[in-house]
């Protein structure tokens, strides 16, 4: 098991593919007979390790390192999020030949959204965790670790107990994200949300501060088969603050998709 | 300052109740209950006629001192009798309930009243932790999450799922939406620091019940400071004081009346818990265990049980003639910033006729003067 805050790259069988001149690493893990494939795209800073640990019990999980993220070299070639997503879609096609569920968090969710728009026939279900494509909160970059923690957490004091990420990696990733998004609303992504054909779950922390509160409803309004979920008492980094709730909701959705709204817990106390 | 009638809806023969909670259902005669509601609604109608601004309904269980286990049902009844006043659910014990259902009730009420609903939430006294077997240690956290969920349910225009600690709903889509947008006024009834902070940080109102003015000022001073730190200032309608009142034409008559009530056993019968149960609830609220075999626990039957926690307040908080009451309310206004006083006239031992006389006297002699504050 891994702790909240560890990168996805912490476990699994490592391999790589070559796409668009990038050497893209990925890690595969799962049971001998998986019931399906799940592709996970990390965002900056904290990852989805606990969610991966849960999903590998049933699924073949492929954690894909975005070019310019993690230990990969700085990405100076991708010129837009759609272009980066196209690269990732090609890489995914080499690793997972058929259909898969796609999960992304934060900037990784923005890439996942565009990947789904570009490869709609291969993505069976889409899970966007705290995406920042729609209505990101404008403002200067956080200048201190304390300010960063206040923006990312409902309870900033929890940031201290998490696995730390190399500041150089954070700076490299931050520069790429800033160059590709400018911290701006992605109007083109919003316009095309209606083209997403698969079941889609979008999750936000109830104390999310990186995007406007109105963002969630836009996804729900525009994506035909979508659900939005609020994870109580969590900020942008949901896994860090409410890992059990995130794992519960996403695991249910990956298995059940839009039927995850059907209650399955027993109310029996003394049978 | 505005005035609110606390629509207690007391069972007319509550003076016959046993001392301890819960009051057995056998003490309730439906004929008396129906008359009690009719009397209470008549008191509401008179209050509206006399110029009261709000009528409030509270939530209490398994007693009958206040026949309102569901304040939303009571508010709906009041709203059909009183067409102008605002109606406050002051307050709901949200930690016991399905917050989504509570949001639906508020949505209905706000539409049925044409946008006159005010909502308030609180944790309540120890006996309020018992009706539905909730763990008292979880009451506060359930209340906070319940309020967050309810507010989200009333404001989110698209269906959503809620992944909480105490509540999980995979589909929330509350209809009807409230008339008052973005939300009807919301109040937190409390004197606890964490709940006062919650109210301040969420830009919600504050209600304090029955405290003397100096004690309430300590609470409202903190509230005011925390509101300022959160970048806002509450309006007068967002600071509410609930009081019990004995009003007469003169101070002397009021004191005489109070003495008579005390002699006849003034008090809210059927509200006290057995000492051991109170201690167990208080301990559980702090996450501690309580051994009922403790030697200090009072023995004996229900009639002999005494509350373990001494009351922090007088049984009646406002006593006097009109001049005295105006002076006391001015102190709450000046020292605590109170903009709405919520008054309970139904003391144990008073009857409907006396309550009507007091409401009329208040409306005639007190209300015009406090409205000038």
Q: What is the ipTM of this complex?
A: 0.94
Minimum distance, in Å, between the CA of residue B33 and any CA atom of chain A: 34
Is residue A74 included in any domain, yes or no?
A: yes
Is residue A164 included in any domain, yes or no?
A: yes
Is residue A271 included in any domain, yes or no?
A: no
User: B158 at the A interface (CB within 8 A)?
Assistant: yes
Of B157, B161, B167, the CB nearest to A229: B161
pLDDT at A45: 55
Name the residue among A116, A124, A128 with its Cα closest to residue A216: A128
pLDDT at B266: 61
Query: Is residue B187 a contact partner of residue B205, using CB atoms and an 8 Å limit?
Result: yes
The number of domains in chain B is: 1
Alpha helices in B238-297 (DSSP H): 251-263, 275-285
pLDDT in tens, A194-215: 999 999 999 999 999 999 999 9
pLDDT in tens, A74-111: 999 999 999 999 999 999 999 997 899 999 999 999 99
CB pairs below 8 Å between A and B: how many?
57
CATH code of the domain covering residue B135: 3.20.20.30
Residues 127-146 of B with CB under 8 A from A: 145
User: B152 at the A interface (CB within 8 A)?
Assistant: yes
Minimum distance, in Å, between the CA of residue A257 and any CA atom of chain B: 12
CA-nearest residue to A238 within chain B is B163
Does position A5 have pLDDT exceeding 90, yes or no?
A: no
Query: pLDDT class for B20, splitting at 50, 70, 90?
Result: confident
Of B148, B160, B171, the CB nearest to A216: B160
Q: What's CA A189's distance to the chain center, in Å? A: 16
Of A217, A227, A232, the CB nearest to B165: A232
* Containing structural domain, residue B218: 2-370
Minimum distance, in Å, between the CA of residue A227 and any CA atom of chain B: 6
Is residue A152 included in any domain, yes or no?
A: yes
CATH code of the domain covering residue A72: 3.40.50.1820
Tokens of B139: 């009451």
Mean pLDDT, to the nearest integer, of B131-147? 95
Is residue A150 included in any domain, yes or no?
A: yes
CA-nearest residue to A219 within chain B is B158
Of A231, A262, A263, the CB nearest to B163: A231
Minimum distance, in Å, between the CA of residue B284 and any CA atom of chain A: 22
Judging by beta carbons within 10 Å of its beta carbon (0-12, 13-18, 19+), is residue B231 exposed, middle or buried?
A: exposed
Is residue A208 included in any domain, yes or no?
A: yes
Is residue A263 included in any domain, yes or no?
A: no
User: B265 at the A interface (CB within 8 A)?
Assistant: no
**Mean pLDDT score across all residues of chain B:** 92
pLDDT in tens, B112-128: 999 999 999 999 888 88
pLDDT in tens, B332-345: 999 999 999 999 99
* Containing structural domain, residue A58: 8-258
User: B164 at the A interface (CB within 8 A)?
Assistant: yes
Minimum distance, in Å, between the CA of residue A185 and any CA atom of chain B: 20
Does position A217 have pLDDT exceeding 80, yes or no?
A: yes
pLDDT at A42: 80
pLDDT in tens, A230-248: 999 999 999 999 999 999 9
pLDDT at A10: 54
User: B162 at the A interface (CB within 8 A)?
Assistant: yes
CA-nearest residue to B145 within chain A is A232
Is residue A105 included in any domain, yes or no?
A: yes
The number of domains in chain A is: 1
pLDDT in tens, A126-170: 999 999 999 999 776 677 878 888 899 999 987 776 656 788 888
Mean pLDDT, to the nearest integer, of B163-181? 98
Residues of chain B neighbouring A214 (CB-CB closer than 8 A) = none
pLDDT at B270: 76
Tokens of B61: 């269980």
Sequential DSSP letters for B16-65: GS-SBSSPPGGG--HHHHHHHHHHHHHHHHHHHHHT--EEEE----S-SS
Mutation test of the interface with chain A: which of B163, B165, B169, B174, choosing the one with the most A Cβ atoms within 10 A? B163
Residues 171-210 of B with CB under 8 A from A: 171
Tokens of B273: 């818990």
pLDDT in tens, B205-221: 999 999 999 999 999 99
Minimum distance, in Å, between the CA of residue A115 and any CA atom of chain B: 24
∠ CA B316-B322-B324, rounded to 5°: 65
């Amino acid at each position: 098991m891994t702790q909240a805050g560890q990168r996805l790259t912490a476990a699994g069988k490592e391999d790589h593919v070559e796409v668009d001149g990038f050497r893209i690493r990925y890690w595969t893990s799962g049971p001998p007979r998986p019931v399906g494939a799940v592709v996970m795209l990390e965002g900056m800073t904290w990852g989805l390790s606990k969610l991966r640990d849960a999903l590998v019990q049933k699924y073949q999980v492929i954690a894909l390192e975005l070019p310019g993220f993690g230990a990969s070299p700085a990405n100076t070639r991708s010129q837009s999020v759609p272009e980066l997503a196209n690269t990732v879609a090609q890489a995914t096609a080499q690793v997972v030949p058929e259909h898969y569920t796609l999960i992304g968090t934060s900037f990784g969710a923005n890439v996942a959204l565009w990947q789904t728009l570009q490869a709609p026939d291969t993505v069976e279900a889409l899970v966007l965790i705290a995406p920042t494509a729609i209505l990101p909160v404008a403002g200067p970059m956080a200048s201190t670790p304390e300010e960063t923690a206040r923006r990312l957490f409902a309870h900033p004091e929890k940031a201290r107990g998490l696995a730390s990420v190399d500041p150089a990696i954070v700076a490299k990733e931050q520069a790429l994200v800033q160059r590709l998004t400018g911290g701006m609303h992605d109007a083109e992504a919003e316009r095309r949300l209606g083209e997403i054909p698969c079941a889609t779950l979008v999750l936000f922390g109830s104390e999310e501060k990186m995007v406007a509160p109105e963002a969630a409803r836009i996804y729900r309004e525009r994506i035909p088969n979508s659900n939005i979920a609020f994870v109580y008492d969590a900020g942008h980094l949901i896994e860090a603050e409410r890992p059990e709730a995130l794992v519960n909701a996403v695991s249910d959705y990956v298995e059940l998709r839009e039927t995850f709204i059907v209650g399955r817990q027993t109310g029996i106390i003394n049978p | 300052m505005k005035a609110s009638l606390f629509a207690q809806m007391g069972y007319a023969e509550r003076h016959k109740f046993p001392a301890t909670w819960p009051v057995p259902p056998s003490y309730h005669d439906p004929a008396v209950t129906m008359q009690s509601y009719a009397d209470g609604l008549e008191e509401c109608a008179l209050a509206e006629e006399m110029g009261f601004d709000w009528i409030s309904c509270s939530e209490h269980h398994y007693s009958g001192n206040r026949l309102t286990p569901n304040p939303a049902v009571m508010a709906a009844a009041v709203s059909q009798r009183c067409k102008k006043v605002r109606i406050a659910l002051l307050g709901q014990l949200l930690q016991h309930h399905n917050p989504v259902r509570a949001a639906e009730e508020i949505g209905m009420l706000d539409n049925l009243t044409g946008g006159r609903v005010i909502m308030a939430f609180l944790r309540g006294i120890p006996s309020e932790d018992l009706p539905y077997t909730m763990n008292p240690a979880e009451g506060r956290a359930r209340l906070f999450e319940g309020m967050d969920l309810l507010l989200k349910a009333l404001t989110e225009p698209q269906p959503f799922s809620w992944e909480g600690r105490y509540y999980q709903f995979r589909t929330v889509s509350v209809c009807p939406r409230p008339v008052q947008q973005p939300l009807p006024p919301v109040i937190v009834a409390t004197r606890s620091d964490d709940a006062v902070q919650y109210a301040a940080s969420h830009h919600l109102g504050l209600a304090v019940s029955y405290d003397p003015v100096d004690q309430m000022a300590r609470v409202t001073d903190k509230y005011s400071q925390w509101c300022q730190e959160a970048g806002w200032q509450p309006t007068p309608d967002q600071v509410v004081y609930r009081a019990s009142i004995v009003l007469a034409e003169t101070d002397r008559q009021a004191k005489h009346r109070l003495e008579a009530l005390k002699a006849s056993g003034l008090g809210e019968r059927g509200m006290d818990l057995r000492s051991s149960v109170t201690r167990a609830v208080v301990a559980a609220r702090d996450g501690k265990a309580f051994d009922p075999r403790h030697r200090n626990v009072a023995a004996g039957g229900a009639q002999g049980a005494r509350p373990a926690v001494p009351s922090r307040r007088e049984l009646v908080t406002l006593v006097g003639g009109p001049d005295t009451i105006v002076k006391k309310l001015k102190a709450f206004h000046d020292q605590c910033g109170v903009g709405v006083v919520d008054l309970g006239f139904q003391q144990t031992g008073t009857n409907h006729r006396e309550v009507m006389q007091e409401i009329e006297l208040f409306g005639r002699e007190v209300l015009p003067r406090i409205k000038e504050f």
